[in-house]
Structure 1
Amino acid sequence: MIRIAIVEDDHHCQEQLINFLHRFKEERDETISIHTYADGDEILENYHAQYDIVLMDIQMKFMDGMSAAEEIRKRDSQVVIIFITNLSQYAIKGYAVDALDYILKPISYFQFSQRLIRAIERMKKREVQFMTVRMKGGVRRFQVSDIYYIESFGHQLIFYTKDGEFSTSGTMKELEKKLADFHFFRGNKGYLINLAHVEGMNDHCAIVKGKDLLISRPRRKMFMEALAVYWGEVIK
């Protein structure tokens, strides 16, 4: 079951999205539940991380979609957000709330279906995954999405996570291979960065939780390409 919320104050656009979802459901043989809201404040009223995907209009009468998305992110780090808009300049702002993509109005079914396929792929990848790491005195179990980045320091690997810093012995090469399917990318010889926690770029550094992590010159182009793919592109 894929749980989808539509937040759209334009009745015609809301009906179009519902019809597109029904068509997608039949073509892909997916089980989808659909819930609709006419404004950002409506979805927030009883929001408790109950949706897999949110299709969010940006310009609405009472609470705009960007503000609603910011509040949703405070309660739900996993939901996939796709903005529906006729203004492409909102693309940069969307990175702050980890929006998967933008669909520009008027919407075509092909554009919509391609973005929905991508959203479902991300949703499935974001299912909770854990890794267990041996540490001095025992072991520690991490939720992969809670790891911000990993630093190699001599023969030690330092994990910077939601719950603090932890170190273990090992090689970055082995760890990079283990985390390759979870949007981790090598910034340089010393850093393995979770793209989900990259807040932006500053000169030659990735900003992760307010810290500048240097991206080496040989890896810069590949890192930016990987980050662009993760962040998504504006549909034109």
Structure 2
Amino acid sequence: MLRIAICDDDRSDRERIHGYLSEYLEGKEIHAEVRVFDHPDKLIQECESFRPQVYLLDIVMPMLTGIQAARELRWNQPDAQIIFATSESSYALESFDVNPINYIVKPVAKDKLFSTLDLALSRVQADDKRSVTVKIKGGLCSLRLDDIMYIDYRNHVVSYHMADGEVVSTPTLRIGFSEYMDENHSSQDFIRCHESISVNLGAIDKLTKADITLRNKEEVPVSKSRYAEVADKYMDYRLE
């Protein structure tokens, strides 16, 4: 399901944007989970797990600006669509580094917001197509790449560990882990951090020489021989 977050410390602006968004979703017959926040700290804390595909952010807020909040969110969600709304047009240049898709000056006009949402959702739909089909016992299973935390290999079975804690496993294989990864995940989305573990680069929250903390708070080990390669690939991924 589509997930959208709104954050604005001004009640009237927050309600206006929420009202327009509800009208837009109803008109397009789109089902979405929308969460509304009045402070950027609450937004950042909750969205670590909620992970909206679209953010509607005010820029001028207490303690933490919308741009600063967007930088925090970008770290774990490089593909999220960010829309800024503010009464201060002078922030446009400063917001450039978080790659927003639009910058709407308040009071937000309905037609401007609707056209921006059209663009945001077209990009979300394109991103949602990034999935893999996995052979499981009794058939096939389609998994969104963004939901895969890591893949491991035990007793000739490959298991996909998902963000919600679900584990999806293949039947017993006749090939090794390296060959399986080469055949099924030849892209740059995963990196081997251990002889029997490959982690999704987009799922990494913290990397040390001993282990990786994933965004769902799970930890996986990093072998000494693989740390340098993992660190290099992780930095390349973040700087793309």
TM-score range, shorter chain: 0.5 to 0.7
Secondary structure at the aligned position of 1:126 is classed as: helix
Q: Say whether residues 1:76 and 2:77 are aligned partners.
A: yes
How far has the Cα of 1:49 moved from its partner? 5.1
In 1, the alpha carbon distance for the partners of 2:34 and 2:130 equals 26
Q: Deviations over 1:155-175 (max 9, x none)?
A: xxxxxx9964xxxxxxxxxxx
TM superposition score normalised by structure 2: 0.55
> Which residue of the partner structure matches residue 187 of structure 2?
142
| Mapping of residues 26-37 of structure 1, within 5 Å | 26-37=26-37
Question: What is the CA deviation profile of residues 138-194 of structure 1, one whole-angstrom value per residue up to 9, with x for unaligned ones?
Answer: 6661157x8xxxxxxxxxxxxxx9964xxxxxxxxxxxxxxxxxxxxxxxxxxxxxx
**Equivalences for residues 1-236 of structure 1 within 5 A:** 1-48=1-48, 50=50, 51-127=52-128, 129=130, 141-143=186-188, 164=233
> How many angstroms does 1:101 deviate by?
1.1
Does the 8 Å contact 1:49/1:76 carry over to 2?
A: no
Change (3 A) 1:143 1:27: farther
TM-score normalised by the chain length of structure 1? 0.56
Shift of 1:17: 0.9
Give unpaired runs (5+ residues) of structure 2: 133-181, 190-200, 202-229
CA contact (8 A) 1:130 1:142 kept: no
- Root-mean-square deviation (CA), in Å? 3.3
1:54–1:80 contact (8 Å) kept in structure 2: yes
Q: What is the CA-CA distance between 1:43 and the residue it aligns to?
A: 0.7
**C-alpha separation between the residues in 1 aligned to 2:12 and 2:121?**
25
For 1:49 and 1:75, the matched residues in 2 are separated by 10
Cα distance, 1:21 vs structure 2: 1.3
Would you say the 8 A contact 1:130–1:143 is kept in 2?
no
Would the aligned equivalents of 1:128 and 1:143 in 2 still touch at CA under 8 Å? no
For 1:96, give the aligned amino acid.
Answer: D
Equivalent residue letter for 2:8: E
Q: 1:49 to 1:94 in 2, by over 3 A?
A: farther
SS of match in other structure, 1:46: helix
